[in-house]
Structure 1
Amino acid sequence: SKSNKLKKRIKNAPENILIFENTHEAIISRELFALVQKHYEGRRRPDRQGDTDKYAGYIYCADCGSKMYLHRGKSIKPENNYYQCGGYQTKGGSYCSVHHMKAMELDAVVLAELKKITLLAREHPQQFYEMAMQNGEKEAQKLRKESEQKKSKLEKRNRELDNIIRCLYEDRVSGRLSTERYDSLAAGYEKEQSEMKAELSTLSNQLENMGLQEKYVLDFIEKAKANIEMKEVTPEVLRAFISRIEVYEKPEKYSRTCGNMLLIHYTFLSINKTAPMLTPTENKTFAQAAC
């Protein structure tokens, strides 16, 4: 607003918005914040039968990255409820394929895989800890190196921009540069610098989060000990153990005998959970749906 006395608000362009993170002490942990964001990201209104999809915000198409949506209705038997790629629904077969998967099959595969990994974490915590830390560290080291190199380049460019803007100002004061020319050049450099500072802040947060790997692994082990009996997949179980599920198309499209391949990402990976992951490790599980 132009003044605290005026009620009218002026919309600011996204490129002019500056975000300053970690300037105050956190009220809640970063992990809890991420869980809440995950909940609201996938939240949908209850359907006509009053139910909300528990997998909303967790299940994605492995090929196009779109969310997958549950199809159910009064005329559909519960055992025939199914998930379908959102990209296929909205953009058609030229964009992606259906990725049809029954909800009951998804529940069965996810529950079976959760029981396996939580059993390992519960009964062999040291072995689980070593495997999780080893795989997490390999991925973290690679990303840390890339992030630090990028951060170094940005900081160097930021210092160069400081010098450029200072020289422009000196030229303006000495009269070697007109006011209009100075304003035009300075605005461009200042815009680049503000965008760079925002990117530097994001990189700093990423590097900080990479140090949380051990905490996430230990939390996963504690949650595994607290959830000995898992009779079904509930929203609470999903929030505790899973960050993302990717569904691949069947090897034979529209086949009634061939199941889908799933890639399950667990919550004890502290770094980028949405990056493409092509090989199975202990923090991700490939599972084949039953035929």
Structure 2
Amino acid sequence: MDPETWEMAQKLRKTSTRIDTFGEVNPLTGLLYCADCGEKIYNHRSRGGTKNNPYLSDFFDCSAYTRANQKRPHACRRHYIRTKAVRGRGLILETLRVASAFAISNQETFIEKVRFASLIREAVMETKRKLNREKKEDR
């Protein structure tokens, strides 16, 4: 693997994890994205369930919706997916199988798509940072 690909892979893998109020780290943190707007989706959990399922609620929802709260009602719609659905139905395994098969049979195309997605993500993040700086300056 060439150094550029290695660096890109390390950058894509890098995600900040946090220990929640129950002292746990969700293994899917930073790896799931909203199907509608492409923003990360965050895990929300609360205790109070049963012995077999200690969480009363355990789901992921869109960060664009969560951050917008009531300020931007059209940022993204209110939707969520239960953690049990993501982990329990083999969605992750099936997604990895499909992506791996594509990467193996179309290596150059796969590398191109990953590079393009990385560039787009960087451009979006830079634009967001610029907008935030300009908003702060206007205040």
Q: Which residue of 2 is the match for residue 31 of structure 1?
A: 5
1:128-207 aligned at under 5 Å gives the runs 128-129=104-105, 132-133=106-107, 136=109
| 1:109 aligns to 2:91 (yes or no) | yes
1:7-46 aligned at under 5 Å gives the runs 29-40=3-14, 42-46=15-19
1:92 aligned partner, one-letter code: N
1:79–1:30: structure 2 CA closer, same or farther, 3 Å change rule? farther
1:61–1:35: structure 2 CA closer, same or farther, 3 Å change rule? same
Runs of 4+ with deviation above 6 angstroms: none
| 1:272 aligns to 2:116 (yes or no) | yes
Deviation at 1:47, TM superposition (A): 1.0
Which whole-Å deviations, capped at 9, do the CAs of 1:29-54 have from their partners, x for residues lacking one?
A: 333333332343x2122112222222
Which whole-Å deviations, capped at 9, do the CAs of 1:88-108 have from their partners, x for residues lacking one?
A: 112136121122101121222
1:83 aligned partner, one-letter code: F
* Structure 2 SS opposite 1:81: strand
Q: 38, 50, 66: which is aligned to 1:89?
A: 66
Q: Distance in 2 between matches of 1:35 and 1:46?
A: 24
1:112 aligned partner, one-letter code: E
Aligned partners of 1:39 and 1:57 also within 8 Å: no
Q: Select the structure with the greater relative contact order (CA < 8 A; seq sep ≥ 6).
A: 1
Deviation at 1:79, TM superposition (A): 8.6
1:47–1:270: structure 2 CA closer, same or farther, 3 Å change rule? closer
1:38–1:115: structure 2 CA closer, same or farther, 3 Å change rule? closer
Deviation at 1:74, TM superposition (A): 2.2
Deviation at 1:68, TM superposition (A): 0.8
Q: Distance in 1 between matches of 2:8 and 2:93?
A: 23
Q: 38, 41, 65: which is aligned to 1:68?
A: 41
Aligned length: 110
1:31 aligned partner, one-letter code: T
Q: Distance in 1 between matches of 2:56 and 2:3?
A: 39
Q: 3, 21, 40: which is aligned to 1:48?
A: 21
Percent identity, please. Answer: 18
Q: Which runs of 5+ in 1 are unaligned?
A: 1-27, 138-212, 214-267, 277-291
Alignment TM-score, normalising by the size of structure 2: 0.58
Deviation at 1:55, TM superposition (A): 2.3
Aligned partners of 2:17 and 2:30 also within 8 Å: no
Q: Which residue of 1 is the match for residue 127 of structure 2?
A: none
Q: Which runs of 5+ in 2 are unaligned?
A: 122-139
